[in-house]
Amino acid sequence: MVVPESEETVETIRAYYQHQLQYVDHIDCESVDELSSFRHAKDNLEAEGRFMIYEQFFGGIAEEMETVPSDIYRKYSDDPWVLTAKPGLATLAREFEETKERMSADGSLEPYQERAINSYVALFDFAIERGYGVSYP
């Protein structure tokens, strides 16, 4: 996720993972502090000064998409690596949701893929709400 430097804070990291908990079923995690991804992002910022909020991208999911993410980035952004336009982020979220629905309907959706897609949608939604960008995986 690409955020203004002034917002590269533990509070932003916490807010994102709190937001993510609404989208993604984290087994045995009831709070942000229990998420290893939150602790990792927080530690990176505090120890190394690197702000990183990201979701691992699975290529197998992209293969099932009707429109590949790189085409959406090209359509909605002048920068091939960062998408900040709300319509583009919303299109990405919608494309992933539709892919999840198709994969679920044909029985090919694995639990890890569903969690991954939900994480991507949470990321795009958070970026839209905050006016942030998302860099290309």
20-32 pLDDT, tens digit each? 988 887 667 778 9
pLDDT at residue 43, as a whole number: 96
Mean pLDDT of the chain: 92
pLDDT at position 8 over 70: yes
Sign of the dihedral defined by the CA atoms of residues 64, 115, 90, 36, in that order:
negative
pLDDT at residue 4, as a whole number: 96
33-75 pLDDT, tens digit each? 999 999 999 999 999 999 999 988 887 898 899 998 889 999 9
Q: Which residue has the tokens 């090209």?
A: 74
Please classify residue 117 by burial: count the beta carbons closer than 10 Å to its beta carbon, then call 0-12 exposed, 13-18 middle and 19+ buried: buried
Residue 15 CB coordination number (10 Å): 17
User: DSSP H helical segments within the chain, as ranges?
Assistant: 10-21, 36-43, 59-62, 69-76, 86-105, 111-130
CA distance 107 to 104: 5
8 A C-beta contact, residue 124 and residue 90: yes
Per-domain residue ranges of the chain:
5-135
pLDDT at position 129 over 80: yes
pTM of the prediction?
0.91
pLDDT at residue 25, as a whole number: 78
